[in-house]
Amino acid sequence: MPAKIPVIVSRVTRALTPVQFQHLADVPPELEWFANIDNEKTRRAYKIDLEDFTTFTGILAPEDMRTISRSHILAWRKKLENEGSSPATIRRKLSALSSLYDYLCEHNAVTHNPVKGVKRPKSNSNEGTTPAIGDAEARALLDRPDATTLKGKRDRAILATLLYHGIRREELCTLRVKDLENRQGVAHLRIFGKGSKIRFLPAHPVAQRLINEYLDHAGHGEDADGPLFRPVRNNRTKELNKALHPNAVYENIVRHYGEIGVHSLRATAATNALDHEADIAKVQEWLGHANISTTRLYDRRKSRPEDSPTFRVRY
């Protein structure tokens, strides 16, 4: 007679009711995939892209995604092309859908990824479309905030942090005072990047000096766990002990002084580093890119006008 499998009974009060337990057990993997996307912007973009696809196909329930074939994907791609969607938009939408089906394959919900084999539009260029500013314009941008005021000191420190380290605005807003730390005798910034990945960037002396000047004036340099960059006024709630919102960095600082986007400062930092012979693999790690092909979009050394054969022609 086979031995009975022992049943372990917990003496701890059950947190889930039987109904709640069964409900969670029945969660389809399609919803699990979406819940596992950490980045809020990525989640929002994928939600829009998948809603576009489900509206096109008439899918009503998550489980219906398992009935999709490659023909449905091809028809959706054709519809996007007819609507005039850019190649980059179509690639992004197909990528979102492919990510979902990769997850379903891993969890044995489907046998294959129907997006695989569907050709995606080619990029128009190997060069990124985000404009980078020149050295003189970068220096002028740093000089525009009024260095005699708290807001001016903060804004100069923010612009320097973006220009000298190439970080994203979301990464800048999550910086705490203690994230400016010494490692092996060198000041570093601890950056919390996409996918909850942490990287340490040596702090540029100019940025470090401007950050310290801002902290001395603001007076929160000893608040190690508090946000590094904070509002200087808050007419609505009066609360200043909080991090800046990424939209405020774009609208009230970068756009205000330079009429450019935050990503342009990231492109400027990457382009400048590569122009001055930084190793592209190191730049990839510095920027927090998962794939070096993304970093190559900032490598514009082959397209510098001064290197054109035009200026080698002699008559």
Per-residue pLDDT tens for 219-241?
Answer: 999 999 999 999 988 767 767 88
Judgement on whether residues 81 and 139 belong to the same structural domain of the protein: no
Provide mean pLDDT across the span 170-190: 94
Judgement on whether residues 57 and 159 belong to the same structural domain of the protein: no
Q: What is the pLDDT of residue 129?
A: 65
Q: Is residue 194 part of a domain?
A: yes
Judgement on whether residues 271 and 146 belong to the same structural domain of the protein: yes
- Catalytic residue selected from 176, 190, 194, 300: 194
Judgement on whether residues 141 and 259 belong to the same structural domain of the protein: yes
Q: Is residue 83 part of a domain?
A: yes
Provide mean pLDDT across the span 168-190: 94
Q: Is residue 9 part of a domain?
A: no
Q: What is the pLDDT of residue 18?
A: 58
Q: Is residue 277 part of a domain?
A: yes
- Catalytic residue selected from 153, 168, 169, 230: 168
Q: Is residue 126 part of a domain?
A: no
Q: What is the pLDDT of residue 161?
A: 97
Backbone φ and ψ of 50, nearest 5°: -70, -35
Model confidence band, residue 303 (pLDDT cutoffs 50, 70, 90): low
Spell out the alpha helix ranges (H) of 179-279. Answer: 205-218, 246-248, 255-258, 262-275
Judgement on whether residues 177 and 284 belong to the same structural domain of the protein: yes
Provide mean pLDDT across the span 172-181: 96
Residue 159 CB partners (closer than 8 Å, separation 6+): 141, 142, 145, 253, 254, 257, 265
Residue 175 pLDDT greater than 70, yes or no: yes
Q: Is residue 19 part of a domain?
A: no
Provide mean pLDDT across the span 30-49: 78
| Averaged confidence pLDDT in the chain | 84
Judgement on whether residues 80 and 152 belong to the same structural domain of the protein: no
Judgement on whether residues 144 and 291 belong to the same structural domain of the protein: yes
Q: What is the pLDDT of residue 250?
A: 92
Judgement on whether residues 191 and 233 belong to the same structural domain of the protein: yes
- Catalytic residue selected from 156, 169, 230, 289: 289
Query: Catalytic annotation on 245?
Result: no
Q: In what order do the strands lie in the sheet with 186-192?
A: 180-183, 186-192, 198-202
Q: What is the pLDDT of residue 261?
A: 87
Q: What is the pLDDT of residue 312?
A: 75
Model confidence band, residue 294 (pLDDT cutoffs 50, 70, 90): confident
* CB atoms closer than 10 angstroms to residue 168: 20
34-38, 120-124, 161-165: which is most confident:
161-165
Query: Catalytic annotation on 103?
Result: no
Residue 132 CB partners (closer than 8 Å, separation 6+): 264, 267, 268, 270, 271, 272, 298, 300
Q: Is residue 115 part of a domain?
A: no
What count of residues does the chain have?
315
The domain tally of the chain equals 2
Of 106, 127, 154, the last residue of a domain is 106
Sheet strands (E) in the chain: 180-183, 186-192, 198-202
Provide mean pLDDT across the span 187-197: 90
Judgement on whether residues 53 and 148 belong to the same structural domain of the protein: no
Model confidence band, residue 284 (pLDDT cutoffs 50, 70, 90): very high
Query: Catalytic annotation on 41?
Result: no
Of 87, 106, 125, the last residue of a domain is 106
The range of the structural domain enclosing residue 94 comes to 24-106
Query: Catalytic annotation on 92?
Result: no
Judgement on whether residues 141 and 57 belong to the same structural domain of the protein: no
Judgement on whether residues 246 and 170 belong to the same structural domain of the protein: yes
Model confidence band, residue 21 (pLDDT cutoffs 50, 70, 90): very low
Lowest-pLDDT range of 128-142, 194-208, 300-314 = 300-314
The CATH number linked to 284 is 1.10.443.10
Judgement on whether residues 84 and 205 belong to the same structural domain of the protein: no
Q: What is the pLDDT of residue 10?
A: 46
Query: Catalytic annotation on 263?
Result: yes
Query: Catalytic annotation on 164?
Result: no
Residue 193 pLDDT greater than 70, yes or no: yes
Q: Is residue 12 part of a domain?
A: no
